[in-house]
Structure 1
Amino acid sequence: MHRALQLAEQGRGHVEPNPMVGCVVVKEGQIIGEGYHEKFGGPHAEVNALANCGGASLEGSTVYVTLEPCCHHGKTPPCTDALLAAKPARVVVAMQDPFPKVQGGGLQILASAGMEVCVGVLGDEAQRLNAPYLKRQRQGKPWMIAKWAMTLDGKLATANGSSKWISSEEARAEVHRIRGLCDGVMVGSGTAKLDDPLLTTRPPGPRTAARIIVDSQASLSESSRLIETIDQAPVIVAASTSARSERLERLQHAGCDLIVCPGNDHAARLDFLLQELAQRGMTNILVEGGSQLLGLLWDNRQIDEVYTFIAPKIAGGKDAISPIGGQGILNMEDATPLAETEVRSFGHTICVHGFTGFAA
C-alpha cells in the first residue's frame, strides 16, 4: 500500500476534481503490475495496473488500491467490472470513497463476488493524500491553501503597502510551482489594486489556475494586468449584490467571469463563493492575500493548509501590515498549532508548511 500511495501522488495536479489513486497487484509475493490515475477523464488506477500485468493470470493475487474502486459509469466504465473480470483473490483498500455514487457500493460488489475485501490499510495516509477531494465531497467547499511572505518581524508589507520583494527568487519559484497545482489563485480587491499582480504560473504547471478576485464592489480596473492577460488565464470577480450594475457590466464586457454573492456580511458571501467554486469543480484554491481576506478565512476556519515564507529582513513600523487580519484570538493558549509541519529553505528564505486540521 505504501507503493500504491507513492504512485497516487504522481497524479497531483493532473486528475482533479477526481481523487488521486494508486494501485499495485501482487502475486506470490511479487509485484506484477502497478498503475495510477494519470489524467482526468483517463483510465483509473486499477485499470492501468491490470493492463500493466503483462497478461499474467490474476487468480490468487492481491490488489492493493488507495481508494475504493468505483462502481458507476462516469467518464470511464466501473473499475469493479475490470476487477471482476480479472478475478483476484483479495482486494485491499485504504479507504472508502465518500462519492455518493460509490460510498461502499464498490466494496459490496467485490465481496458479493466472493473476493476477500480488506479496508483501512494505511487509511490515515490515504485520507491525508486526498484531503482536498474529501473536503469537497463532504463539505461542498474547496481546499484552501494560504500563502504569504513576511519579514522576520512578521510584516506582510510596509505601512504604505510596499511588499516587493520580501522573499527570495527561489521562494517565488516555489510559489509558482504550487500555483500550477491549483484550480484558482485568490486575492482580495486591495491586493489586486495595490500590487496589480499577474497571478499567472510561470512556467506553466499541469493546471491553469483561474485568478479569483474577492471584490465586493466590482472595483477591479480594466487597465489592471489581470484583465490585460485574461487570454492567459481566466479572471473571476466575486462581487456582492450591492455592486453597481455598470461596474459589473464593464468587467463582464472585459471578459471577466462574475459571481455575484448574496449575503448580509462578508462571511456569508464568502461561504457562498466557496460553495460556488466547489460546484464548478475547483478542488484546490491558493489564497495569496491580503491580510483582510486571509483574516476572514481564518476567522471562519476555512484555511486548511499554510505556506509561510519568512525572509531574514526586518521592516519595523507599528502600522506595517501583518499577514492575518480579522478578529483573531484573545488568549495565546487558543492559537491554532499547525500539524505535520515541514521547514525548508529556498535561498535566504525559510518556508514553514503545515495543516490546520479545520476540515477534519
Structure 2
Amino acid sequence: MLSNLYEHRTSDLGRLGRGGTKTNPLVGAVFVRNGQIITEGYHQDWGGPHAEAAAINQVNRDELSLCELYVTLEPCSHFGKTAPCSVLVIDSKISKVAIGQKDPNPVVNGRGIKMLRNAGVEVTHFQDSQSSKELLRPFLVNQEQERPYIILKWAESIDGYLSKHDQQIKLTNPISDRLVHKWRSEIDAIIVGTNTVLVDDPSLTTRLYPGSNPVRVIVDRNGRIPTSATVFDDQAPTWRCTLITTPRIKRVEDITISTKENQLLALMRQLFFRNTGVLMVEGGGQLLDSFLQTDLWDECRIFQTKHMLESGIPAPKLPIQPCASYAVLSDKLLLYKKYS
C-alpha cells in the first residue's frame, strides 16, 4: 500500500537529522494529496524548525489544503523554541494526520492529537509503526529514563581481547575505522576512560568522515591525564569528569562526579541535562564493564577482527545474542540491541 511507503519515508527523512537534534526527537514529515507527495521535511537541528514546519515552509500554504500528513511523532502542542506544530497543521487545513508514535514528553503526551481532533482533523496511527519506533528509540529513552541513549562500541581480537596492557594496538581495518567516524557524526558525545587517553592519546573526532565532531567526555576521576593530551585540543568541545579539583584547561569544561549515589548513573543524568541525547562509549575495558555491570546500555556494536593477541585486556561479554552481523572487509561487525 502507498501509505506504508509514506510511513517508511518519514523514518528515512528523520534519520537525516542524526547528530543535530540532541535530546529532541528525530522526526520526518510527508504531506500527500491524491497519491502525490506535495512536500516533505525533517527536524534538522535542536531548536530549529520541526519536521512539519520544515516541510510547510517549502511550499505555498494554499497547496496544502486537504493534504494528508504522515509524521513519525505526534505533532507538538506547546510553545517551546518553536510554535506548536498542531496549530500549524490546523491552519494549513490538513484533512488527515497519520502518526507513528505518541509523544511521551509530559508537555505533549496526547495533547497534540486531542487538539487536532477537536479542530476536525482525522487522526490515525501508522499501520506499521516499527520503523518509527526504532527511529525514536533514543528519544523514548531520553524521556522515560532521563539519560542519554547509550551505545557501547569496541573492537576485539579473534581470541577475545581488547588490547595489550599499556600498549596501543590497532585491530580494525580502514573501512571499519571510517564507519566508526560516521557513527561519531551521528551522535552527541563520546565517552572514554583515563587509561584509553593515557595509552592511545586519541583525538575522538570525525576526521575520516564529513560531519560535526561530538563532544568528548573524558572520565579522569583523579586528574591523571596531562593537559597536553590530544583530547584537550581545540578540535572539538571537551568535558572532563573528575572527583577532585584539577588545574583549569582552556576550552575544557569540568564536571564534578557525584559521590552520593551511583556515580555512573549520576553522570549520565548530568550529560542528559546538558542536552546529550545519544552517547557512544568507546572504552576502555574498565569503563565498558562499568556500563554493563550497571545495566546502562541500549545498543552495542562490536568489531571482531582476525588479529590474535593471546593475552591482554579481556573484551566484555554480553548476556544476549546479536540481532545482526555484517562483514566489513576482514572484520565482522556484531550488533546488539537490549530491547530487541
Q: Mark yes or no: TM-score above 0.5.
A: yes
Distance 1:48 1:199, change over 3 A: closer
Matched, 1:164 2:169: yes
Q: 1:7 matched to which residue of 2?
A: 13
1:41 to 12, 22, 47: 47
Q: 1:321 matched to which residue of 2?
A: 313
Kindly provide the CA deviation profile for residues 121-146 of structure 1, in whole angstroms up to 9, marking residues without a partner as x: 43332121111111111101001111
Instruction: For residue 316 of structure 1, give the secondary structure of its aligned residue in structure 2.
Output: coil
Q: 2:130 matched to which residue of 1?
A: 124
Q: Following the alignment from structure 1 to structure 2, what is the Cα–Cα distance between the partners of residues 114 and 255?
A: 53
CA contact (8 A) 1:92 1:121 kept: no
Q: 2:239 matched to which residue of 1?
A: 236
Q: Following the alignment from structure 1 to structure 2, what is the Cα–Cα distance between the partners of residues 212 and 292?
A: 15
Q: Please say which of residues 274-283 and 206-215 is displaced more in the overlay.
A: 206-215
Q: 2:332 matched to which residue of 1?
A: 350
Q: Which residues in structure 2 correspond to 1:40-119 (within 5 Å)?
A: 40-119=46-125
Instruction: For residue 79 of structure 2, give the secondary structure of its aligned residue in structure 1.
Output: coil
Instruction: For residue 144 of structure 2, give the secondary structure of its aligned residue in structure 1.
Output: helix
Q: Which consecutive aligned stretches of 4+ in structure 1 deviate over 6 angstroms post-superposition?
A: none
Q: Following the alignment from structure 1 to structure 2, what is the Cα–Cα distance between the partners of residues 204 and 316?
A: 33
Q: Please say which of residues 46-55 and 121-130 is displaced more in the overlay.
A: 46-55
Q: Which amino acid aligns with 1:61?
A: C
Provide the identity percentage. 32
Q: Which amino acid aligns with 1:233?
A: A
CA drift of 1:53 comes to 4.9
Q: Following the alignment from structure 1 to structure 2, what is the Cα–Cα distance between the partners of residues 37 and 20?
A: 6
Q: Following the alignment from structure 1 to structure 2, what is the Cα–Cα distance between the partners of residues 260 and 49?
A: 42
Distance 1:276 1:20, change over 3 A: same
Q: Following the alignment from structure 1 to structure 2, what is the Cα–Cα distance between the partners of residues 138 and 284?
A: 14
Q: 1:260 matched to which residue of 2?
A: 256
Q: How many residues align?
A: 334
Q: Which residues in structure 2 correspond to 1:141-152 (within 5 Å)?
A: 141-152=147-158
CA drift of 1:52 comes to 4.1
Q: Following the alignment from structure 1 to structure 2, what is the Cα–Cα distance between the partners of residues 169 and 220?
A: 28
Q: 1:201 matched to which residue of 2?
A: 206
Q: Following the alignment from structure 1 to structure 2, what is the Cα–Cα distance between the partners of residues 29 and 283?
A: 35
Q: 2:302 matched to which residue of 1?
A: 308
TM-score by length of 1: 0.86
CA drift of 1:106 comes to 0.6
CA contact (8 A) 1:141 1:274 kept: yes
Kindly provide the CA deviation profile for residues 167-225 of structure 1, in whole angstroms up to 9, marking residues without a partner as x: 11111111111112221111111111122222122046433212111122122112222
Q: Following the alignment from structure 1 to structure 2, what is the Cα–Cα distance between the partners of residues 256 and 42?
A: 26
Instruction: For residue 274 of structure 1, give the secondary structure of its aligned residue in structure 2.
Output: helix
Q: 1:332 matched to which residue of 2?
A: none
TM-score by length of 2: 0.91
Q: Following the alignment from structure 2 to structure 1, what is the Cα–Cα distance between the partners of residues 338 and 280?
A: 15
Q: Which amino acid aligns with 1:198?
A: S
Instruction: For residue 117 of structure 1, give the secondary structure of its aligned residue in structure 2.
Output: strand
CA contact (8 A) 2:17 2:42 kept: yes
Distance 1:58 1:225, change over 3 A: closer
Instruction: For residue 132 of structure 1, give the secondary structure of its aligned residue in structure 2.
Output: helix
Cα RMSD between the aligned structures? Answer: 2.1
Q: Which amino acid aligns with 2:330?
A: H
Give the gaps of 5 or more residues in structure 2. Answer: 1-6
Matched, 1:272 2:263: no
Q: Please say which of residues 74-83 and 280-289 is displaced more in the overlay.
A: 74-83
